[in-house]
Chains A and B, each alone.
Chain A
């Protein structure tokens, strides 16, 4: 048994050593002082943050930005469990709150973007959806997010405000799942974010609706308390909240953040 414990510890040490190597912030093998900045960002930020990471790397030679995109609640859980991250950008204030309440944020999170819902329909709009109320038409196959996730909470808020009773055929876990069902033509319509419709290109059509303003999602960003290099992390945050970042985000369809 003692022997087994020894082997177990050796294996854990080995695994830890290997992962430690992969995550180390300095990489001497690459010839000196290459630093790594790890950014955890909500999945909807993928295209904009990928672009901003390239900008950052160009402005800060020798620093490599590692991006981890996932649902905000997954990222918040990972950070809570000690995942090594320097910056966290969430798609809603609730998940940022989880991280901040646990004392893992360095300073007050700043809202850098907003997002609103739009109706996505398959190219051709065969079901003839032209308004939010049309989603409640009999026989229309509508897919939304479940209430437990931000996009679903926003959809429920708008439906209640409008007095429209939605009877979705599916309540998905993520906005990408909703979009997937619309792109494949399985759903007649789906409630997604303006930015998702933008990124899906011509595979879907967007039906904007004025009532969307009733539920605006705020995207907060923060430097994490456990950041290896707070200065570098703060520089990335400033890039996102600054003019350059705001222009990239606006191009993706995001609304401006509050300064």
Chain B
């Protein structure tokens, strides 16, 4: 590509773009400026902080796995399937993206809570979800699932079905086509979707607070710990915020990095698939 491409952008647009970037960057810089560096290490390595960080990482990994297990079939069905009310289902699945998390928490409470829709059934089975780590994972999965579905569905849709069709005409049964062709082709989209789901899970706050409660080592994830520390120890809250910012930066960098080497299947002839690689399809 040419390095001196004509962009056709008026200069004032750059001014506004800088302003937009500042809206995001300035508050982050303010956090960094406010950090008490002398006590930073003791603050972020306190017992409650480490317990919260550990819980956050464990639950986010669990909910990301759950998102993959549930989200991959859903994305494929939405991208490739033909059934009535498909558009409606897609809109509904995306709803957690725009819902305030506290609404998600209330919804989950009235689904899995003791008096909820499934509460009676769960009680009979001896399962108590509220106030457990399971509740945290459920809340995170609820808010993170759309991220995986959106990025994966986009990737699958843009990728097209040519290779699957060829494999099928060569005599491969659907199971083999799925395993040998569809799955490898959607891996880049799946990877970026999974990373985004993980990031969303890590930041989950409202639904967790409403649905799961807050107890050290059980349900108090890092965002909840920050919220609590803020009451008495602003320095600790700021230090822990910086930890979350750092993790978020790492995760976003991972999701949006340029793919290092494209697989054989995504060689120059298959540009559509390549454009569906990480980041390309996230709204």
Contact = CB atoms under 8 A, between A and B. Distances in A.
Q: DSSP class of A's interface residues: helix, strand, loop or mixed? A: mixed
A149 interface: yes
Nearest to B17: A4
A186 B15 contact: no
B242 to A, nearest CB: 18
Interface string A1-12: 001101110010
A172 B114 contact: no
A28 B22 CA distance: 35
Interface string B115-143: 10000000000000011000000000000
B107 to A, nearest CB: 12
B19 A184 contact: no
A21 interface: no
Contacts, number: 70
B16 A186 contact: no
Contact of A170 (B15, B109, B114, B131): B131
A173 B215 CA distance: 11
A46 interface: no
Interface stretch (B83-91, B225-233, B254-262): B225-233
B18 A8 contact: yes
A73 B230 CA distance: 9
Interface in A205-221: none
A171 interface: yes
Interface residues of A, number: 26
Contact of A185 (B113, B131, B215): B113
Interface in A188-247: none
Question: Which of A11, A171, A177, A186 gathers the greatest number of chain B CB atoms within 10 Å?
Answer: A186
B158 interface: no
Interface string A165-184: 00011111100010011001
B113 A186 contact: yes
A4 B18 contact: yes
A149 B230 CA distance: 10
Q: DSSP class of B's interface residues: helix, strand, loop or mixed? A: helix
B219 interface: yes
B213 interface: yes
A146 interface: yes
Given A3-B12, A7-B15, A146 B228 contact: yes
A177 B209 contact: yes
Contact of A172 (B15, B110, B213): B213
Given A7-B19, A185-B115, A186-B113, A171 B231 contact: no
Contacts of B130: 186
B11 interface: yes
Contacts of B234: 77
A185 B234 CA distance: 33
Nearest to A80: B234
B51 interface: no
Nearest to B233: A148
A249 B175 CA distance: 70
A141 interface: yes
B6 interface: no
B214 interface: yes
A96 interface: no
B213 A4 contact: no
Contacts of A172: 213-214
A186 B110 CA distance: 10
Given A169-B131, A172-B213, A181-B213, 8 more contacts: A170-B212, A171-B213, A171-B220, A173-B228, A173-B231, A177-B209, A185-B114, A186-B115
In order of increasing CB-CB distance, the 6 nearest A-B pairs are A170-B213, A169-B131, A4-B18, A148-B231, A185-B115, A7-B15
30 contacts: A3-B11, A3-B12, A4-B15, A4-B19, A7-B12, A7-B16, A8-B22, A73-B231, A143-B213, A146-B228, A148-B228, A149-B231, A169-B215, A170-B213, A170-B214, A171-B215, A171-B216, A172-B214, A173-B214, A173-B227, A173-B231, A177-B209, A180-B210, A181-B213, A184-B115, A185-B113, A186-B114, A186-B115, A186-B130, A186-B131
